[in-house]
Amino acid sequence: MLYTRSGDSGSSNLWGNRLPKSSLIFEALGALDELNSFIGLAVASINDEEIKKQLIWVQQKLFIIQAEVSGARGELKKEFSSQETLKLEQYIDKLEEEIGQLKHFVLPGGIKEAALFDVIRTVARRAERSLVELNQQSQINPAVLTYINRLSSLFFALARVINKRAGIKEQKPTYE
């Protein structure tokens, strides 16, 4: 059954504990879910198989992070490793080799797929802010916080790569 009716009064069950849906834990988990959904939209929208493979890998890691943040038990109980951030950084470094280091701000946009990665970058930042806020009341694994921080860099790099490959020149803001 896709509905339980048990959340109709504004609370939800988290591993045997009923909590208000407005709790920081649900805000953080919701932001991670939103991020994962937008990544799924990117996977469905691009043709580059290497990028798709990397995005699906990120999606899988986000499920592990959600399980850990939620306090999952049993077979879902996982501990996120800092090794995952190192793998992510290696991929970001590879992308940066292709696009070069940036020395100025750029306007979000370009082709549709790049603009989607710009949106995903902002969703990743919101997820990070939610986790940082949750971390103030309950300890979040530092490896999770570092990984989530790096995701916005990944999506920024992907937006730039997609535009470069499409021949779109980056535009600086004019501040006019």
And the tokens for 92? 């970001």
Q: What is the mean pLDDT of the chain?
A: 90
Q: pLDDT value at position 1?
A: 67
Q: pLDDT value at position 127?
A: 98
| Model pLDDT for residues 140-170, shown as the tens digit of each residue | 999 999 999 999 999 999 999 999 999 999 9
Q: pLDDT value at position 83?
A: 95
One-letter amino acid at 2 equals L
| Model pLDDT for residues 96-115, shown as the tens digit of each residue | 999 988 888 999 999 999 99
For 28-39, what is the mean pLDDT? 97
Overall pTM surpassing 0.85 (yes/no): yes
Q: pLDDT value at position 72?
A: 75
| Model pLDDT for residues 38-69, shown as the tens digit of each residue | 999 999 999 999 999 999 999 999 999 999 99
Query: Is the CB of residue 144 less than 8 Å from the CB of residue 68?
Result: yes
Query: Is the CB of residue 123 less than 8 Å from the CB of residue 34?
Result: yes
Domains, the chain, ordered by start: 22-71+81-100+110-165 (1.20.1200.10)
Say which residues have a Cβ less than 8 Å from residue 31's Cβ, sequence separation at least 6. 123, 126, 127, 130, 131
In this prediction, what percent of the chain has a pLDDT beyond 90? 74
Enumerate helices (H) and strands (E) in the chain, giving the number of each: 5, 2
Residue 6 has pLDDT above 60, yes or no: no
